[in-house]
Structure 1
């Protein structure tokens, strides 16, 4: 084979391999830039601030006493995650939450694990609850706590695409298990850290939260903590988040 022909073939082979390498590298590089979906459970801060959060999806016996405690203890900053059906069944309580200046987030429509359903179902359910909450309170929600705290990367990505930030918790009061008033107080006050998001419930299933809440508030204040909403927490400090694999 003439030297010129061999040289030409070598050049062509080199070009093909190089082009192939560039083609493969493209998607890999793009994938590396894709952010892993995350759910927020606390923020990194040295300030002694925490967010008290309350999920409500059932009943009308506990929500108002919880609001009474917050008013009596002069807590003006907290975040309530409301389910759509509950909001429609108890509009006056939902309006009271709004009128007291508390932040309102979305807790979904049907109380089912989002990860068991396709994106279309998730979008439909969240849209229904969003509409219900806005209809009653005038608030268009941007924060969501999924039912049962259930999620996976696909669920978070779907919710993010809807404009939602997924909020979890770092300290779980376990109040829904009704473990005893003192156990609830101890769990919250001993586990709370600066930048914490604290999970509690104002549903009727949480039968001991009304008795525990005043002491939780008092002890956290003694420990130097101030109360803020989740949005204030997120805007005031670097976000520390759970990465879902």
Structure 2
């Protein structure tokens, strides 16, 4: 009889360990999936979009430099790409009005990348508002109208950023696919990173001078997109053409 209870106890211990392991595995997978929800939102409805329902959106950040932006524009024109969204820092735009004008004339969408390269999570509310306001004024002087999109300069944001951006009339846009082109990992690696893109994804690329390999990678990226039969749209078109989900952030 004693042998029976010793054996049963060992069995129960094994079962308990299996259940604990299963619980933590399920929790890990749940948290991993949670990070893929297309839109973050606050209780009052402010939101940051990083994925849509259909199509594909190419986005380019430009914060500094004057050498890489035009080769990117040349490639888009050569490849007959009609839709892309450029997030421009206000300070950069002031220094390069001719490039800003070309982006507008060629039909691409412009979003704000703040004014200076500031991490909004490190700033007080008033300083976030000031940075956005300075960028807004810079684009008004350049006669760039009806900007509705904003991206946090470093990509870092929280609920405060969403609420402040919403007060200024902007929707915060993040991304689903990071090309990591700013790391200059090699053309093949950039292409491989972007090749993961699926319907509804927003792709992050750069046209700043720090991203030295993006122009060479872009034709290969576009060839893969065409092969997949995906349509390129601006971020605003993606928002208008599909439903979005939301998750509260704090």
Q: TM-score range by the shorter chain?
A: 0.7 to 0.9
Residue of 122, 133, 136 corresponding to 1:130 = 136
Secondary structure of 1:128's partner?
A: helix
Is 2:204 the counterpart of 1:195? no
Residue of 209, 222, 228 corresponding to 1:223 = 228
Other-structure match for 1:176:
182
Residue of 47, 51, 76 corresponding to 1:70 = 76
Is 2:137 the counterpart of 1:93? no
- Cα-to-partner distance string for 1:56-75 (whole Å, 9 max, x where unaligned): 01111000000000000000
Which structure has the larger Rg over C-alpha atoms?
A: 1
User: Could you list the runs of 5+ residues in structure 1 that have no partner in the other structure?
Assistant: 1-32
Give the direction of change, closer, same or farther, for the CA distance of 1:87–1:156 in structure 2 (3 Å limit).
Answer: same
Residue of 29, 53, 61 corresponding to 1:44 = 53
The alignment's TM-score, normalised by the length of structure 1, stands at 0.82
Is 2:156 the counterpart of 1:162? no
Give the direction of change, closer, same or farther, for the CA distance of 1:240–1:209 in structure 2 (3 Å limit).
Answer: farther
Number of equivalences: 209
CA RMSD of superposed structures (Å): 1.5
Other-structure match for 2:38:
none
Other-structure match for 1:25:
none
Other-structure match for 1:212:
217
Q: Distance in 2 between matches of 1:243 and 1:52?
A: 26
The alignment's TM-score, normalised by the length of structure 2, stands at 0.80
Give the direction of change, closer, same or farther, for the CA distance of 1:154–1:239 in structure 2 (3 Å limit).
Answer: same
The alpha-carbon deviation at position 134 of structure 1 amounts to 2.4
